[in-house]
Structure 1
Amino acid sequence: MKYLLSIIFTLTIFGNDKPNIIFIAIDDLRNELACYGVDKIKTPHIDNLAKHGLIFDNAYCQIAICSPSRTSVLTGLRPQSTKVFDLTTHFRDTVPDVITLGQFFKQKGYITQGFGKIYHNSLDDPRSWSIKHFMSKNSLYQRAENQQLIKNQVKAAKEKKLKGHEFRFATMGPAYESADVPDEAYPDGENTKLAIKALKGFVQKKQPFFLALGFSKPHLPFNAPKKYWDLYEEDKLDPPAISHRPLDSHPRLTLTKSGEVRSYHGVVKEGSLGAEMSSKLKHGYYASVSYIDALIGKFLQSLKDTGLDKNTIVILWSDHGFKLGEYDSWVKHSNMEIDARVPLIISSPWMKVKGVRTNALVELVDIYPSLVDLSGFTVPTFLEGTSFAPLLKKPNTPWKKAAFSQYNRGSKIMGYSVRTAYFRYTEWRLVKNNKVIFKELYDQVNDPLQSRNIAKKEEVKIVQAELHEMINQQWGLK
C-alpha cells in the first residue's frame, strides 16, 4: 500500500496519472559493459543507469538482424508472426492492422515522439508518432577524404547502372572513421541534441509522454569523434575469447562469411580480415560504444535536470548482439548465444531496490507488454511476450523456462533456437516441410563460449528430445 501511495503522490505532483517512458534503443550492442561484469569498454553512463535500475543478465532478441528484431519489439509479435525476416519488408505489409508500442501509448493519450534509429532506417511507421519522427541527415562520414570517396563510389555505381543491394554495397565507404569533430557532427549526436530539446519541452505539457531515442552506433561503420578513439590503446585490446568455429558445427548454417563487414571499402572480400584490420575494427567498435554512452549520459542528465525523472520509466535495450572476430566471424546474423543475447536495463522511480540483477530468462518481445503493464494499462491479448513487471519487485521470482529466437538462411531454411538455463539448442529446418536437416546443442554451463556442438553425443539424447518438443510447441511445428 505504501508503494502504491508513493506512486500516486508523485504522479499527482507532476499532473499526470500515468508515468512517462524513455525508450532507448541501441544497435549492435554486446553485453560487454561494466554492469555486466566486463570492464573492457568505458560506459560510465549506462553503468550508472544500471545502478538505479534492474539488470537482466539473460535477455534475448527474437532474431539477430536489425529490422526484424525491431519489428518484433515494437509490434510485440515474434518474427514468425510478423513474417519480417529481412531489411526491406515493412510489417504494415504483413500485419497491417497491428497496434505498435508507440501507437498504443498514443491511443492512450500520450505524446509519442521518436528520434534516431527506432524502426529500421527508412522503414518508419507514422502511426506510431504524435509528432513526426526525426532522423538526422548528417553525413555518416565527417572526414573530407571519406566524403570524396563516397562521391566517387556513387558516381562509379551509377555509371555501372547498379541498383538495389548492388548499389548499396558499392557505395559503403570505409568501415571506420576517427574525426576530430563535436558529438553533434555525427547523426547520433544531432538526434540526441534534438531529443533533449523535446524533453525540455515536455515539462510544460500536461500529457504523459513516450519518447524514443535510437542510436545507430555501434553499428558499422565504426565512426565516432576522435576523443572516444583516444580512450583506448589499440595494441592493448584483447583478442577474441574464441577464434575458431564451433567444432562439429555446420559450415554454412551455423555462421555466415561476415559479408556485412566485407562490403566496406578496404576490407578483404574473402579469407581472414587480418590482425591489423581486426584490431582497427575492434578499436572503432569500442570508440563507438563510448560515444553513444556519452550521448546517453547527456540525455539522462537532462531528464534529471528537468525533474521529469521522478515520474519516468527508462528502458535501454539492444536489438541483438555482435561478433568481433569470435569464431573467426564478424557482425551478427546467427542463432549463436553471442548474437542472440542482449543488454536490457530498466529503471523506475518506484523500484524499492535498485542496482540489482535478475537471472530470469526474458525476451525482447516482452518489452511491449511490460511497459503497458508498468503504466497501469491492461495488456492487449494479441501480444506474444510476457510482462516482466513482477521482476522489478522480486528479481528472483521463478520465471520462463526458455527464450526463443530464430534466423533464416534465405527463404528455404529456417533455424529455430531455444535457450534454457543450461542449453542452447537449434534446429535448422526446410521451410517447405519442416524437415530437420541439422542440429546444434551447446552446453552453456560447461561450455559458455559454445566451442563444440554436442548434438551427436549419445548422453544428450533425452535432453535434446525435450528441447525439440519445446521448439515444436513454440512455433507450432511437427
Structure 2
Amino acid sequence: MSHSSFSRRTFLKQASIAASTLLAESTMTFAENSNHTRKNVLFIIVDDLRTQLNCYDRSQIISPNIDRLAAQGFMFNRAYCQVPVCGASRASLLTGIRPDNAHGQFRSYHTWAEKDVPKADSVAKHFLSNGYETISNGKIFHHQQDSAESWSKPPWRVYDYQNPEGEDWAAYNFDKIWLDPKSRKHISKKGRGPFYEAADVPDEAYEDGKVADKTIKDLKRLSKSDKPFFLACGFSRPHLPFNAPKKYYDLYDPQKIKLAENRFSIKNKPNECRNSGEVLSYSQTQGWAEKEEFHRKALHGYYACVSYVDALIGRILDELKAQGQDKNTIVMVLGDHGWHLGEHNFWGKHNTLNNALHSPLIIRTPDKLEKHSTDALVEFVDIYPSLCELAGLPYPKTHQLEGLSFAPLIKNPELKWKQAAYSEWGTGRAVKTDRYLYTEWKNGSKMLYDHIADPHENVNIASNPACESIVKYHHALLKKIY
C-alpha cells in the first residue's frame, strides 16, 4: 500500500467520523421532519455558470429569478468544484466520489461515471432505489447514456434517438445551434460556428428553452403522482457558443459592460497554468483573445446567456409553485464549475485558478431559515450526502461517500467547518483554505495566491521565501487526500 493511498484512506475515515457526529446533531431537524411527507428534489445544473450573478454581488448581471431563489433559500459563498471540466465534475458530484489521478477516474470531459466507478450508485439511482421517480432532462451527466439506469425513464435531451421528437446530433449541430442565417455562413466543416449569436427567436427555439418546456411538462405530471420525485434539469448555456434570443442581448448595453481589469499575464505564472483553447475552436475568434472588442462581445454573450437561463429557471420555479409543490421540494441550482471571463486574458475553465474552481451553489429547502448564506468552505462532493440528509434518506450502501453533508450549515451558517477544499486539473492538485489557494504539479511547479492581499490572483507568491511555511502547510494538506 502506498503512503498516498494510506493517507487518503486515513483522512476519509477521519472525515467519516466527523460527518457522523454532525449528522447526529442534525438528524432531528431534517430526517424526522420527513417521516410523514417525503421531500421532492428539483436539481438544476447550469453548464459553465460561475458566480456571475447578482446575488453573488455581480451587479452588472441581470438574474432576478436565481436572485429570488437565493433570497428565499440558502447560498454557499465559497463552494468549489473538484475538477473544472464538465464530464469529470458531474461524474464526481453525482457519485459523491473525488476525482483521482492515481486511479484514472474522473479526469476529463470524456468521463463516464459508470465506467470509472461501476459499483457506485449515483445520487439519482439512490433516490430511485428509495422509492422516488427520477427524471433527467437536458445535460445532467456529460454523456446522455452515462448511468442511464439512474432514471425512471430514459434520460431526455433535445438531440436524442430515444426521444420521438429528437434530433440527429450532426444535423442538430449544423441547423439548430446557430439559428441566424448570418451565423450559418461561418459554420466550419467541423460544425463550429461563431462564438456568439443573438437570433430574434422565442425562448423555445434554442435547446435550453425546449429543456425548460419538458421540465415544466414533467412537473405537471409528477405533481399528480403519489411518489416523490427527483427531477433533474440541465441547461447548456452559458457554455459556448454564447447563443441566446436577441431579447436577452438587448438587456445589456455592451459599451457599459465592465471588462476585467487584469487583462495581463500573472506574475511568476508556471507554464502548467494555461488558458483554455476551447473558445478558439469557434469561428471569428482567431487572433482576438487579447482584443478589447472580443472581450466586450464575449462578456455580452455570456451575460445574455445567463439572463436567458435565469428566465427559464424562473418559469420552472413558477410552475413548481403553481403545482403546489414549492413547500415540499428541495430546490438546488448550481454551475458545474467556474469560468474565466477575460481575467489574465483567459476564457474557459481548464486550470486551478479561483475563477475556474469557485462555483455557484444555491439551495432552497421547505424549512424556515433565519440566515441565508455561509462563508464556510464546501465542495461539490458534499452535494450527494447533503441531499440524502435533507430528504431523510440513508447513505448508499454501494460505496463510501467522500463528501460531508452541509445540511447543518443551513441551520447554523457559523458552524466550524472544513479547513480546506480540494480540486484537480491535469497533473495539478489544488487546495483552497480560508485565505490561500495553492496548487502543485507532479513536476514540482507551484502556485500560491493570497486571496486577502491579492483576490484577483495577479501574483504567484509560491517562490517567495517569506511564504515557505505557508507552502509547506498546504503541501501537507494535499498529502491528506493524495
Q: TM-score, normalised by structure 1?
A: 0.88
1:340 maps to a residue whose letter is L
Cα offsets for 1:103-151 (capped at 9, x unmatched): 000011100001111111445321110011111136211113434644x
Q: Kindly state the Cα deviation for residue 5 of structure 1 after the two structures are TM-superposed.
A: 9.4
Equivalent residue for 1:160? none
Is 2:377 the partner of 1:364?
no
Equivalent residue for 2:459? 452
Answer whether contact 1:172 1:263 (CA < 8 A) is retained. Answer: yes
Answer whether contact 1:77 1:385 (CA < 8 A) is retained. Answer: yes
2:95 maps to a residue whose letter is T
CA distance in 1, matches of 2:249, 2:367: 37
Answer whether contact 1:46 1:293 (CA < 8 A) is retained. Answer: yes
Answer whether contact 1:10 1:310 (CA < 8 A) is retained. Answer: no
Equivalent residue for 1:171? 191
2:297 to 270, 276, 280: 280
Is 2:449 the partner of 1:442?
yes
Q: Kindly state the Cα deviation for residue 231 of structure 1 after the two structures are TM-superposed.
A: 0.3
Task: Decide whether aligned partners of structure 1 residues 199 and 280 sit closer, same or farther in structure 2, where only a CA change above 3 A counts.
Answer: same
2:312 maps to a residue whose letter is L
Equivalent residue for 1:432? none
1:424 maps to a residue whose letter is L
Equivalent residue for 2:436? 423
CA distance in 2, matches of 1:4, 1:93: 37
* Segment of structure 1 superposing worse, 181-190 or 344-353: 344-353
Equivalent residue for 1:159? none
CA distance in 2, matches of 1:42, 1:420: 30
* 2:198 aligned counterpart, secondary structure: strand
Equivalent residue for 2:166? none
Is 2:426 the partner of 1:397?
no
Gap runs ≥5 in structure 1: 155-169, 409-413, 430-435
Equivalent residue for 2:216? 196
CA distance in 1, matches of 2:118, 2:332: 27
CA distance in 2, matches of 1:65, 1:405: 11
CA distance in 2, matches of 1:288, 1:202: 28
1:327 maps to a residue whose letter is H
2:42 to 4, 11, 22: 22
1:79-158 aligned within 5 A? 79-80=99-100, 83-122=105-144, 124-137=146-159, 139-147=176-184, 149-150=186-187, 153-154=188-189
Is 2:262 the partner of 1:242?
yes
Answer whether contact 2:82 2:422 (CA < 8 A) is retained. Answer: yes
* 1:79 aligned counterpart, secondary structure: coil
Equivalent residue for 2:234? 214
Q: Kindly state the Cα deviation for residue 91 of structure 1 after the two structures are TM-superposed.
A: 2.3
1:304 maps to a residue whose letter is K
Equivalent residue for 2:272? 253
Answer whether contact 1:11 1:311 (CA < 8 A) is retained. Answer: no
State the superposition RMSD in angstroms.
2.0
1:126 maps to a residue whose letter is A
Q: Which runs of 4+ in 1 moved over 6 A?
A: 3-11
Is 2:312 the partner of 1:299?
no
Number of matched residues? 438
Gap runs ≥5 in structure 2: 1-24, 160-171
Q: TM-score, normalised by structure 2?
A: 0.87
Is 2:339 the partner of 1:322?
yes
Task: Decide whether aligned partners of structure 1 residues 428 and 18 sit closer, same or farther in structure 2, where only a CA change above 3 A counts.
Answer: same
Task: Decide whether aligned partners of structure 1 residues 352 and 271 sit closer, same or farther in structure 2, where only a CA change above 3 A counts.
Answer: closer
Q: Kindly state the Cα deviation for residue 331 of structure 1 after the two structures are TM-superposed.
A: 1.0
Cα offsets for 1:320-364 (capped at 9, x unmatched): 11111111111110000011000100110113325x110100001
Q: Kindly state the Cα deviation for residue 277 of structure 1 after the two structures are TM-superposed.
A: 2.0
Answer whether contact 2:34 2:391 (CA < 8 A) is retained. Answer: no
Equivalent residue for 2:91? 71
Cα offsets for 1:70-102 (capped at 9, x unmatched): 111111111116612122232222211210011
CA distance in 2, matches of 1:148, 1:227: 22
CA distance in 1, matches of 2:80, 2:31: 30
2:54 to 34, 41, 54: 34
CA distance in 1, matches of 2:30, 2:414: 24
Answer whether contact 1:440 1:454 (CA < 8 A) is retained. Answer: yes
Q: Kindly state the Cα deviation for residue 383 of structure 1 after the two structures are TM-superposed.
A: 0.8
Equivalent residue for 1:379? 395
Q: Kindly state the Cα deviation for residue 274 of structure 1 after the two structures are TM-superposed.
A: 1.8
Q: Kindly state the Cα deviation for residue 42 of structure 1 after the two structures are TM-superposed.
A: 0.1
CA distance in 2, matches of 1:42, 1:61: 24
Cα offsets for 1:202-252 (capped at 9, x unmatched): 1210100000001100000000000000000111111103111221111x3
CA distance in 2, matches of 1:123, 1:336: 31
* 2:234 aligned counterpart, secondary structure: strand
* Segment of structure 1 superposing worse, 80-89 or 340-349: 80-89
CA distance in 2, matches of 1:349, 1:451: 42
Answer whether contact 2:338 2:349 (CA < 8 A) is retained. Answer: yes
2:243 maps to a residue whose letter is N
CA distance in 1, matches of 2:419, 2:455: 18
Cα offsets for 1:421-477 (capped at 9, x unmatched): 011110011xxxxxx4201111111111111011111111112111101101111xx
1:111 maps to a residue whose letter is E
Q: Kindly state the Cα deviation for residue 7 of structure 1 after the two structures are TM-superposed.
A: 8.9
* Segment of structure 1 superposing worse, 88-97 or 418-427: 88-97
Is 2:281 the partner of 1:263?
yes
2:327 to 288, 301, 310: 310
Cα offsets for 1:28-87 (capped at 9, x unmatched): 112121111121110000000001111101000001111110111111111116612122
